């Protein structure tokens, strides 16, 4: 059992290093982690990938419609700061209704149309940067006969060992997926 856990840990570290674009020092390996969640959704992979790739500005309406009584899962606004919505290198500002999230600036690092994946990295955000040196998110969508599978991978580097893994951020990312899925199925 311990060998399986060691192998899984080594696999996750290799994945983290690949996503972070470099080799981690031994000290950094204690601070880095990966959270991954896969969810079966009713919308097609193409519909959801299109929202994340081309139309992230829709998330304020999508989250308010899906969670009208839950402001902690609502996005106030998404602004394009630099570039184009659907381009690598574009910079966006996400303002959340909940003050515990605050405002985040991110940059789209990779878009893979063939794999239907998009990767973005947090660049600014007072609230998350109090705890984390780095947050990187990969959304990937896989077609199925009915609907799709969506995988969210959250790679993080904590500021120190005592900081918890960002499970609340992962939960928010899943709530965003569910809001986009509801919009996709309503458009059919």
pLDDT digits (tens, 9 = 90+) for 147-157: 999 999 999 99
The structure tokens listed for 122 are 């947090």
- We report the CATH number of the domain holding residue 36 as 3.30.530.20
Cβ neighbours of residue 28 closer than 8 Å, sequence gap 6 or more: 157
Q: Is residue 148 part of a domain?
A: yes
Q: Is residue 143 part of a domain?
A: yes
Contact 135, 169 (CB under 8 A): yes
Q: Is residue 116 part of a domain?
A: yes
**The pLDDT of residue 69:** 85
**The pLDDT of residue 150:** 98
Please determine, for residue 11, whether its predicted confidence score (pLDDT) is greater than 80: no
**The pLDDT of residue 138:** 97
Count: domains in the chain: 1
Note down the domain range covering 55.
30-186
Q: Is residue 8 part of a domain?
A: no
Please determine, for residue 10, whether its predicted confidence score (pLDDT) is greater than 90: no
Q: Is residue 25 part of a domain?
A: no
The candidate with the shortest Cα–Cα distance to 150, out of 188, 121, 179, is 179
What does pTM read for this prediction? 0.86
Contact 100, 115 (CB under 8 A): no
Tell me the CA distances in angstroms from 131 to 10, 43, 162, one per residue in order. 24, 34, 10
The candidate with the shortest Cα–Cα distance to 181, out of 36, 35, 46, 37, is 46
Q: Is residue 125 part of a domain?
A: yes
Q: Is residue 17 part of a domain?
A: no
Continuous segment of H or E residues that includes residue 46: helix 45-54
Q: What is the average per-residue pLDDT within 130-135?
A: 92
Q: Is residue 46 part of a domain?
A: yes
């Amino acid at each position: 059992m311990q060998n399986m856990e060691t192998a899984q840990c080594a696999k996750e570290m290799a994945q983290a290093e690949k996503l972070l674009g470099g080799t981690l020092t031994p000290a950094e390996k204690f601070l880095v982690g990966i959270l991954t969640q896969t969810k079966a959704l009713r919308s097609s992979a193409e519909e959801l990938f299109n929202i994340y790739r081309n139309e992230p500005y829709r998330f304020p309406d999508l989250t308010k419609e899906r969670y009208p009584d839950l402001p902690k899962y609502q996005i106030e606004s998404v602004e394009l700061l630099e570039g184009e919505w659907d381009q690598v290198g574009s910079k966006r500002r996400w303002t959340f209704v909940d003050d515990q999230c605050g405002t985040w600036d991110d940059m789209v690092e990779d878009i893979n149309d063939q794999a239907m994946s998009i990767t973005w990295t947090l660049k600014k955000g007072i609230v998350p940067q109090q705890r984390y040196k780095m947050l990187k998110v990969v959304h990937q969508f896989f077609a199925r006969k009915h609907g799709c599978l969506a995988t969210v991978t959250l790679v993080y580097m904590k500021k120190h060992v005592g900081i918890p893994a960002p499970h609340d951020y992962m939960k928010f990312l899943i709530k965003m997926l569910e809001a986009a899925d509801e919009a996709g199925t309503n458009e059919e």
